[in-house]
Structure 1
Amino acid sequence: MDRGQTGVRPRNNSIVLDFTYMGQRCRETLRVKPTKTAIREASRKREAILYEIAMGTFDYGKHFPSSKNAIKFSKNKGSLITVERALKDWLKRAEKRCQRSTIRDYNSAVYYHLIPAFGSLTLDEIRKPHIDDWLDTVGNLSNKRINNILGPLRQTLKDAFYDELIDVNPMDRFRNLRIDTREPNPFNKDEIHSILEQLQGQNKNLIQFAFWSGLRTSELIGLRWKDIDFENDKVHVRMAIVRGIEKTTKTTSGQRSVDLQPEAKAALFEQQKYTNSSKHVFHDPKTDSPWSGDHIIRKRIWIPALKAADITYRTPYQTRHTFASMLLSSGSNPLWVAQQMGHKDWGMIRKVYGRWIPV
């Protein structure tokens, strides 16, 4: 090989360029057949690289965009990584620390919304106006859903900023959309009585327990008999079932022990007739298996019961609001109520249920 081709050598069906950059020996492979013509062209490319290095204008990513060294040496690393690639890398990391149901939501956000909207942009290209433009296309999505969709993008760009792939995180300039807190509209005792009168068997036990325990629906259907302490009148809330998947409760404060109210205890005694030998307390009577999700309860039990009782529709979550308002109205300590509800402190109780706290 002549002098002009020093640092250029054929290897199988490719050509390897060898040069030194920033004190480090670099080898890059050109995926071309090593003909004499190709080798001469490769030699010219190497000479151009050496000249640019000498002049201080060499851009690794421009010559070798797919190389690992491109990101290592590039002055503008964000120009070499697409938002799609960054999102997928973030998902892989998230899979190691998040619940499966959470990863399912993340996948939906990433693959059905974020990649189609922003995936082709590089990290250094995406700007707040891109997000504003996307908002104009989302139709009737709720603010909460939009915030959830943008969550993975927000975290991905945050990581990119900390990793010095970008100088500015555009999501820092985009505030989450405002979510209107679901206004408590609790049921009174006459309404509770009317609703329960429309139900029987396991369905009645489930709804009665919901009204007098304050558990979320996912916690209700995840409740196990081993979590019930009849001797000390306690319900230990440890698990939840979301989309058919059993998982621990969402937060540490969510793992709590709830005092067993007489009405809730009565519902459990009745439920023992049906599922005492099973793992989970509440079953779907049609399948004799644990409920797979709250949507079935809402459609099959809740909506028909309210219609039959001639009561204006309210979501099943209002059973939880009802529980809190009844405790507070009876003079219970707000701090204790916060613990019963699984709140970290009583700030949420004061904010949401303040009108039921006696003065």
Structure 2
Amino acid sequence: MDNRQRGITIRGNSAQIAFTYQGVRCRETLPMPPTKAAQKELQLKRQAILYEIKSGTFDYLKHFPHSKKAQEFRKTRPDHYTIGEGLKAWFQRNQGRFQQSTLRDYNSAIYHHLIPTFGALAIAELTAMTIKQWLSELPISNKRKNNVLTPLRQMYEEMYLDEMIDKNPLDRIKNLSVKTREPEPFTAAEVEKILNELAGQERNLIQFAFWSGLRTSELIALRWEDVDLENNRIFVRHAKVRGHLKGTKTNAGTREVMLQPQAKQALLNQQTHNGKSNDIIFHDSRTGEPWKNDQAIRKVIWTPALKKAGLKYRNPYQTRHTFASTLLSRGENPLWVAQQMGHKDWGQIRKVYGRWIPQN
């Protein structure tokens, strides 16, 4: 056989086959004894490869199981590429887009739920029924189930848009309904009872929480540079989640909040403890360091204060509910309250706090 035959190059005891697959020029080297029979077999192999490529049945790994290029092309074969491999690659490729807290959540979802359950399945093998059955048996809340599915949803959506798969089984899986807890705001008398059980920085923090409507993660990230006392306002730009500073939860979360008199007084009192212009405002008085997370506040300040005040336990988020219900009850515009709370519109205000909106 002519060493220059189209698509085949013979070099001693090996030969290189060249072909184009999915628009990519491929060259694979195979061992070949210097016999006419071997050369004829090589020619037939290339013809078979070209036919399979044309008919859409070409399996790169079957022909060249040790090829690096075959491993790359395997990613385009949803019948071969596994969900575990796809999730790991998706996570690695996209992790630069996510906040640290989101990375932790996705990492947990992928390695503790999704890969152990679906990792060995080929991308094309996953069905909506398989997912539904798994969700029905998973012993976690609906909210957590929805969050666990998020990386899987995003990976399949990316593959669908890249035309690696013809259909996305996650399109048939709706997020499970999540019950919204009914707000249990504190009365003015209850707020006073709680504050009377606190002093110093602890009182300043909780008083500010009641009268600013900030989430705890936003409270512990607030800096003095975010405060404009002269114009009675603060700027909410950051949140602290699991010890890491990040941007607010949504674009609407980055906002300007007008200071109610009680909130302003809490800040003025806090200046005597910690008034450095570039520092975090609220510190743990036991350590002199900024609060690391909301759990510490709940354990050290909140729960003991409620017990001493003789009040039924309600979580710290109720300070935010108290702020909203108080403003609405005194007739403030729901649209303005929504902006103060960091909601993109007043739909959530109407849904959650409708009974505190005066009916004209």
- The equivalent of 1:198 in structure 2 is 197
Kindly indicate whether the alpha-carbon contact (under 8 Å) linking 1:8 and 1:42 is maintained by their aligned counterparts in 2: no
Q: Is 1:155 aligned to residue 151 of structure 2?
A: no
- The equivalent of 1:111 in structure 2 is 111
**C-alpha distance in 1, partners of 2:352/2:81?**
44
**C-alpha distance in 1, partners of 2:25/2:233?**
67
2:231 match: secondary structure:
coil
Percent of aligned pairs with the same amino acid: 53
1:184 match: secondary structure:
coil
**Cα distance, 1:224 vs structure 2:** 0.3
Task: Give 5+ residue unaligned stretches, structure 2.
Answer: none
- The equivalent of 2:92 in structure 1 is 92
- The equivalent of 1:126 in structure 2 is 126
**Cα distance, 1:163 vs structure 2:** 0.9
Kindly indicate whether the alpha-carbon contact (under 8 Å) linking 1:7 and 1:19 is maintained by their aligned counterparts in 2: no
1:60-71 equivalence runs, <5 A: 60-61=59-60, 62-64=62-64, 68=69
- The equivalent of 2:358 in structure 1 is 358
Task: Give 5+ residue unaligned stretches, structure 1.
Answer: none
Kindly indicate whether the alpha-carbon contact (under 8 Å) linking 1:219 and 1:240 is maintained by their aligned counterparts in 2: yes
Q: Is 1:169 aligned to residue 174 of structure 2?
A: no
**C-alpha distance in 2, partners of 1:358/1:339?**
18
Opposite residue 17 of structure 1, the aligned amino acid is I
**C-alpha distance in 1, partners of 2:151/2:22?**
36
> Alpha carbon RMSD of aligned pairs, Å?
3.1
Size of the alignment, in residue pairs?
Answer: 353
Kindly indicate whether the alpha-carbon contact (under 8 Å) linking 1:71 and 1:80 is maintained by their aligned counterparts in 2: no
- The equivalent of 2:299 in structure 1 is 299
**Cα distance, 1:53 vs structure 2:** 2.9
1:77 match: secondary structure:
coil
Note closer, same or farther for the CA distance 1:295–1:22 as it changes in structure 2 (3 Å cut).
closer
- The equivalent of 1:264 in structure 2 is 263
**C-alpha distance in 2, partners of 1:172/1:292?**
39
Note closer, same or farther for the CA distance 1:27–1:340 as it changes in structure 2 (3 Å cut).
same
- The equivalent of 1:209 in structure 2 is 208
Q: Is 1:26 aligned to residue 26 of structure 2?
A: yes
**C-alpha distance in 1, partners of 2:12/2:325?**
76
2:108 match: secondary structure:
helix
Post-superposition CA distance 1:119-148 (Å, at most 9, x none) = 111211111122123224422x11111111
Q: Is 1:48 aligned to residue 48 of structure 2?
A: no
**C-alpha distance in 2, partners of 1:295/1:42?**
73
1:227-306 equivalence runs, <5 A: 227-277=226-276, 279-306=279-306
**Cα distance, 1:15 vs structure 2:** 6.5
Which range moved further: 312-321 or 48-57?
A: 48-57
1:273 match: secondary structure:
coil
- The equivalent of 1:225 in structure 2 is 224
Kindly indicate whether the alpha-carbon contact (under 8 Å) linking 1:78 and 1:122 is maintained by their aligned counterparts in 2: yes
Q: Is 1:185 aligned to residue 184 of structure 2?
A: yes
2:273 match: secondary structure:
helix
Which range moved further: 61-70 or 243-252?
A: 61-70
**Cα distance, 1:299 vs structure 2:** 1.4
